[in-house]
Amino acid sequence: MHPDGERILFTGEQIQARVAGLGAEISSDYKDKELLVIGILKGAIIFLSDLVRSITVPLYYDFMAVSSYGSSTESSGVVRILKDLNQSIENCHVLIVEDIVDTGLTLNYLVENLKSRGPASLKVCTLLDKPSRRKVPVKIDYNGFTVPDEFLVGYGLDYNGRYRNFPYIMVLSRRVYEGGN
Tens of pLDDT, residue by residue over 69-114, are 554 555 556 788 999 999 999 999 999 999 999 999 999 999 999 9
Q: Is 62 a catalytic residue?
A: no
* Contact assessment for residue 46 and residue 156, using Cβ atoms and an 8 Å cutoff: yes
pLDDT in tens, 114-125: 999 999 999 999
* Contact assessment for residue 30 and residue 22, using Cβ atoms and an 8 Å cutoff: no
CB-based burial label for 101 (10 Å; 0-12, 13-18, 19+): buried
* pTM reported for the whole predicted model: 0.92
Catalytic residue among 50, 99, 102, 158: 102
* Contact assessment for residue 84 and residue 56, using Cβ atoms and an 8 Å cutoff: no
Share of the chain above pLDDT 90, in %: 87
Q: Mind listing the domains of the chain with CATH numbers?
A: 12-149 (3.40.50.2020)
